[in-house]
Amino acid sequence: MNMRHGTKARRAAGCALAAAALTVSLTACGSGDDGAKDDGASSSAPSGDKPKDDGGNTVPDTSQTLATINGSNGFQVVIHTAARDDGGFLTVSGTIKNTNSGDTQVPLQWNGQENQVKRTGRSLAGITLIDKGEKKRYYVLRDTDGFPLTTTGLARMDSNATENFFAQFPAPPDGTSEVDIQVPLMPNATIEIS
């Protein structure tokens, strides 16, 4: 019995020690308010985007306009940046505006037609880039779980509402300076890569 009682006591002490160590390590992580200078950078913001506005939303750099695409469906897509990232990615960012007089459903075609992205919910995975010189089409990248690396959850927009978006693609070769962007149900536009 003594041996059994000793094992239970050691097990309980080990659990208490593990709980204390976990508490200390979580406390050490803290809120990150250690007096370090906040330069406004965020690792989760796509390249070419300003990290956050006061409301916590990712805000694209709107200082330039690469293309404005007006669709017959009442949506306007403005492309602000198309920037190469380290690691061979191209991040396109911009804004979408509902120019209709009432709230409007975002076209389902913007999700893409692939079964893998259909199961992940509303997204902009249907956007593609065309490199005419290389005769290649680039699709929105997917993460390891099949989720598209683009803005998600966009289903309806109020009249005159504007939403920020981004989409990441494989980067075309370094010699490619322009690509055509295709947003389903909208005319193509040529954008310059930086």
Question: What pLDDT sits at residue 120?
Answer: 79
What is the spatial distance between Cα 124 and Cα 151, in angstroms, rounded to a whole number? Answer: 6
**Tokens 């403005």 identify what position?**
78
What is the spatial distance between Cα 65 and Cα 162, in angstroms, rounded to a whole number? Answer: 15
Going residue by residue through the chain, which has 194 residues, state the pLDDT in tens, using 9 for 90 and above: 555 555 555 555 544 444 444 444 444 444 444 444 333 333 334 444 444 444 444 555 777 889 999 988 899 999 999 999 888 999 999 999 999 998 999 998 998 877 777 777 889 999 999 999 889 999 999 998 889 999 999 899 999 999 999 999 999 998 899 999 999 999 999 999 98
What is the spatial distance between Cα 163 and Cα 150, in angstroms, rounded to a whole number? Answer: 13
Tokens found for residue 50: 């300003």
Cβ atoms within 10 Å of 193's Cβ, excluding its own:
19
